[in-house]
Structure 1
Amino acid sequence: MHSARQDIEAMHCLSGRLPKQLFDTQIAASLLNHPIQISYQALTENLQNVYLEKAYTRLDWTTRPLPEAAIEYALDDVRYLIKNYHQLKAQLQAENKLDWIIEEAQNLLNIDLYLPPIDQAWQRVKGLSRINKNAHVLAVQLAAWREHRAQSNNKPRKWVLADEPLIAHALGKEKLSNKAQNSFDDFLAQHTNIQNIKISINKNKPPTKTEKSQKVVLQKLIQEKANQYNLAIEVIASSKSLLKYIRGDRSVMFCQGWRYHLLQRELENAK
């Protein structure tokens, strides 16, 4: 599969099951220094020297009969997938990175990714760090309610309430519809743990001057290692995960698996 996470989420939502094995060609490509979120079209062009048209990306696929050109477009969407897989796998094996993609697949097949606890839903809200403490509590509750509604109704979160109006409501700048407000009130009444939820706001605060300096040191060390293994630094450690690490969070990805194996000495030296 290419960029498999949303497809896996849909499979899990419809069947309650996850694949037993997986090879994500987008992730594999990122381990070989292709752009991190390279598209299937761009990867196929790079590997197979074949240009795939994008003319039918917005087609209503329930239309019948489908145009012949649309059918060819759909076939192209998987036609080169196996070829890409074999080529990427061979390159990973040549660079001794095959264990890395196996580990990445295991991470992607972690069921916790697809059933996030509603009391952790606030971590997905953009802009939370920029609001005051009082508004922050309401935003956290709204995020939990949104996650509950989205899971219950099998809808994207943004269809329930997008991040921007969520923040605006928490700040008192906008109001929910009467129906949504009643639903939110009922949710809080039924989930007293969410009513009384307490989180570390510090996790979302902008970095201090000292933290910025520490981050620069870590980035330099990790960049050297990334260059050595022909990787983009973001494949090893995102900017966000570096800040979490500086603040004491050792659950970040680069403290585990192949990333930690690469960085163990650098992290010890940076203490």
Structure 2
Amino acid sequence: MLAFQYIDDDESLSALVAQYRKSPLLVLDTEFVRTRTFYARLGLIQAYDGKTLALIDPVAVSDLSEFWCLLQAPNMTTILHSCSEDLEVFAHNGQCQPAKLFDSQIAAALCGFGHGLGYAKLVEQTLDIPLDKGESRTDWIKRPLSEAQLHYAANDVYYLFELYPQLVEKLEQQNRMEWVFEEGERMTQGRLSPPDLDLAYLRVKNAFQLSPTQLAYLKVLATWRLSKAVSRDLAVGFVVKDHALIGLAKKQPKSITELYKMIELTEQEKRVHGKDLIALLATADLDNLPKAIDILALKTGYKSAFKTIKQCLTDISEQHDVPIELLGSKRHIHEYLEWQWGDKTGAIPLLLCGWRKGLVSVPLAALSI
């Protein structure tokens, strides 16, 4: 059984942070619950520097500010596995991001273990140790946590520290260590910015179906929904669902009577938000209409160009032993085509940045698309 410290008061946390400051490496993981909430509810933080494994109880500790400052130390490498959701937790709870991030899932992909490996699979491949994932559905907010739950959580950082040297050795052999840190820096960018309320309408499913006038209505509805979701810490779908917003933008009911006839809204949505929705629709700015959403994938030649680029990137991924999903995903190819066909204006696509640029820029430039 792994030995660990359970940190549930401010004084113990201060002592722990003072120790961790002396270490160049810190392995982290978080356990959280997200069902109906906009933000994940943080239930536990696991940390290990190779000497002290600690389980930090954010429910009991009143002030985590010292710990959040620790993550931002420029001389500290923070090691996480598949860390997108952890970064979201850090941004919301600590208003911070790790200064130097090493994501072991990306590292594993870049040194030949395979793309998208889960933590247990990576431990099994590198250390030949099978992990029990039986506590993965734990309610991490509920107290007290059982010994089985705590040891499950401790395993998530202990073995990551143990396998880290293997990843580093392979990455250094291939001169790819900086690639991992580059990916880490990219993943942390923009995390501390608040949600852009004005652009919320672009994330509503099937918004591309709407005319500019309908988009003007959708814009005020989506802005209102996101604002309410953030203020109430409620997932946007539990405020009003996407298809209801689309229906409102298309039909633009002028009265409660008209709104109650709509089949796109649930009875609860009508009852709770009906008056607000009618009032919101009346505020749509019809003098400054949003642009129609241009669906690049519907343009003539898109499928052919996409296929050509995908084949080019597949050849490069095989040549350099980099998973195609990491080198150039569907989103990356779409972003590149959008830039290429948009007279190369706007932000340079990811395919032409950093380590990817050195692999793909010349072959992509030679394509006729």
Normalised-by-shorter TM-score class: 0.7 to 0.9
Q: Which residue of 1 aligns with 2:17?
A: none
**Is 2:324 the counterpart of 1:233?**
yes
**Is 2:270 the counterpart of 1:177?**
yes
Q: Which residue of 2 aligns with 1:223?
A: 314
Which structure exhibits the higher relative contact order, with contacts defined as CA atoms closer than 8 Å and separated by 6 or more residues? Answer: 1
Distance, in Å, in 2 between the alignment partners of 1:87 and 1:147 is 43
3-state SS in 1 of match to 2:298 = coil
Task: Give the drift of 1:159.
Answer: 3.9
Q: Which residue of 2 aligns with 1:21?
A: 100
Q: What pairs with 1:1-271 in structure 2 (closer than 5 Å)?
A: 1-112=80-191, 114-129=193-208, 131-133=209-211, 135-163=214-242, 165-167=244-246, 170=249, 173-175=263-265, 176-182=269-275, 196=288, 198-202=290-294, 204-248=295-339, 251=347, 252-271=349-368
CA 1:75–1:169: 2 relative to 1, 3 Å = farther
Instruction: Figure out how many residues of one structure are paired with residues of the other and give that number.
Output: 268
The answer on whether the counterparts of 2:200 and 2:219 sit within 8 Å (CA) in structure 1 is yes
Distance, in Å, in 2 between the alignment partners of 1:111 and 1:55 is 34
Distance, in Å, in 1 between the alignment partners of 2:359 and 2:218 is 38
CA 1:18–1:189: 2 relative to 1, 3 Å = farther
Distance, in Å, in 2 between the alignment partners of 1:197 and 1:34 is 49
Q: TM-score, normalised by structure 1?
A: 0.82
Task: Give the drift of 1:101.
Answer: 0.8
Distance, in Å, in 1 between the alignment partners of 2:174 and 2:138 is 40
RMSD between aligned alpha carbons? 3.1
**Equivalent AA in structure 2 for residue 180 of structure 1:** H
**Equivalent AA in structure 2 for residue 80 of structure 1:** Y
**Equivalent AA in structure 1 for residue 153 of structure 2:** A
Bigger proportion of residues as strand: 2
Q: TM-score, normalised by structure 2?
A: 0.63
Task: Give the drift of 1:136.
Answer: 4.8
Structure 1 unpaired stretches of 5+: none
The answer on whether the counterparts of 1:3 and 1:27 sit within 8 Å (CA) in structure 2 is yes
3-state SS in 1 of match to 2:123 = helix
3-state SS in 1 of match to 2:115 = coil
3-state SS in 2 of match to 1:23 = strand
| CA deviation map 1:26-71 (0-9, x unaligned) | 2222223444332211221222111111211222234444332222
Task: Give the drift of 1:106.
Answer: 0.9
The answer on whether the counterparts of 2:96 and 2:192 sit within 8 Å (CA) in structure 1 is no
The answer on whether the counterparts of 1:56 and 1:73 sit within 8 Å (CA) in structure 2 is yes
Distance, in Å, in 2 between the alignment partners of 1:64 and 1:263 is 51
CA 1:96–1:9: 2 relative to 1, 3 Å = same
| CA deviation map 1:97-143 (0-9, x unaligned) | 111111111111213575342233345444444x3436555445444
